[in-house]
Structure 1
Amino acid sequence: MPSLTLTTWGHAGVRLERDGRVLVVDPGTFTDPRMLDGADAVLVTHEHPDHVDVPRVAAALAADAAPELWAPAPVVEQLAGAGAPAERLHAVDDGASFDAAGFAVQALAHEHATIHPDVPRPANVAFLVEGTVLHPGDSFAPAPPGTSLQVLAVPVAGPWMKLAEAVDYVRQVSPRVAVPIHDAILNDAGHGLVDRLVGGLGGAEYRRLAPGEPLEVPLAG
């Protein structure tokens, strides 16, 4: 059965690999810089620094054999202003489907969750990869009807959420495996609490991955 390899690299950073091709999602300021090594394509869900390290990503896009990037328009504008080549930047919105380095990707627009009524909510695009891995960014974006998710990258900590919402999100989306992300603000005790509650109540297999630890994700043949 065909498969891809999923690894996490701190906070919201997720890396997918298949057939020698590499797709990276949300290489922000809290992620290990190595997650961009050898990347063929980059997806960014929204403009907050913990999801896109603009100087580092712009430099990667300007290098030889650089990846291409897909993101909401405000992210594209920031990267262009930081020197990223325009031909490697692609603005996406709800419903866009595209090929990113051989990975089939669908963009699912879902506004950033509310931090506070006085804090503006940026555009946030969730990404469904190969119809089976969902990265929601800072949202609880539902999977399209009929989707059979293998992996949900589930946010578990942040100023815009409470833990019960993570549990309910896993129950709603019903993936085979829930992999926690968005947890850089937690200490070890916080990780343990999150793992007990989301892992115990979500109703899906729950896998906390160490940085770079591989998870094989089966794909439809």
Structure 2
Amino acid sequence: MRLERDGTALVIDPGAFSDLDAALDGSPAVLVTHEHVDHLAADRVATAVREGVDVWGPQPALDALAAAGAPAERLHAVRAGDTVTVGAFEVDVLGEWHAVIHPDVPRIANVAYLVDGVLHPGDAFVDPEGRTVSLLLAPLGAPWLKLAEVVDWVRAVQPARVAVIHDAPLSEVGRGLARTLLGRLGGAGEPLDLANGEMTYV
């Protein structure tokens, strides 16, 4: 997800399934929710950091970037409860654990970011703790979720709008079914379904 405002950009979770060159182009800052490869393409992002990009994220994600050669002075650790200024953006950090995939799989740190009313949860159903959410980025397909939980989370957050993310594991038929059900049951209208590079206004 790439947010733009006042001539500057902020990228959230540039992972291996993203169009990384387009997402990172000209952006001075990146937020990372956690270190899984679909949220953090460590080698490519480390290259961007060496070229001057700053990254905020939980410490294990920053450790992955450091191991890939990112200079430590551009890596900034955050955790739940932090508020940071990143360029033109004020960012509330929420979280801070990845959703359970299976009891046998250890949980990892996962923070969410609320940026100008846009909530990116990473891999968790994060509570915005009473904050207003104008656009909720709702995951559709992952080993850790079922659609009923997504619907209930959207209902609890009560965003003005929803945009779907985290849908790469689904077929086109599965994506269509999930979007239809989320729109019908979530209570936030028809979900936005943005293609790579497509923009909307918040």
RMSD: 0.9
Residue 170 of structure 1 and its aligned partner are, at CA, apart by 0.8
In the alignment, structure 1 residue 188 sits paired with structure 2 residue 172:
yes
Tell me, yes or no, if structure 1 residue 108 matches structure 2 residue 76. no
Shift of 1:144: 2.1
1:48-87 alignment, distance < 5 Å? 48-63=36-51, 66-87=52-73
1:208 and 2:193 correspond: yes
Return the TM-score normalized by structure 2: 0.97
Segments ≥4 residues shifted beyond 2 Å? none
After superposition, give the CA deviation of every residue in 1:67-126 in whole Å (9 maximum; x if it has no partner).
Answer: 211000001111112111111100111111111112000111231111110101110000
Query: What CA deviation, in whole Å up to 9, does each residue of 1:40-80 have, x standing for no partner?
Result: 110000010100000000001101xx221100000111111
Matched-pair identity in %: 52
Residue 84 of structure 2: aligned partner = 98
Structure 1 residue 212, shift from structure 2 partner: 1.7
Question: Is the CA contact (8 Å cut-off) linking 2:49 and 2:70 kept in structure 1?
Answer: yes
Listed as ranges, the gaps of 5+ residues in structure 2 are none
Q: Is the Cα–Cα contact under 8 Å of residues 140 and 175 in structure 2 kept in the other structure?
A: no
| Deviation for aligned residue 1:209 | 1.3
Task: Give the alignment of 1:145-160 within 5 angstroms.
Answer: 145=130, 147-160=131-144
Give unmatched runs, 5+ long, in structure 1: 1-13
Aligned to 1:5: none
Q: What TM-score, normalized to structure 1?
A: 0.88
The match for 1:6 is none
Instruction: Kindly provide the amino acid, as one letter, of the partner of residue 43 in structure 1.
Output: L
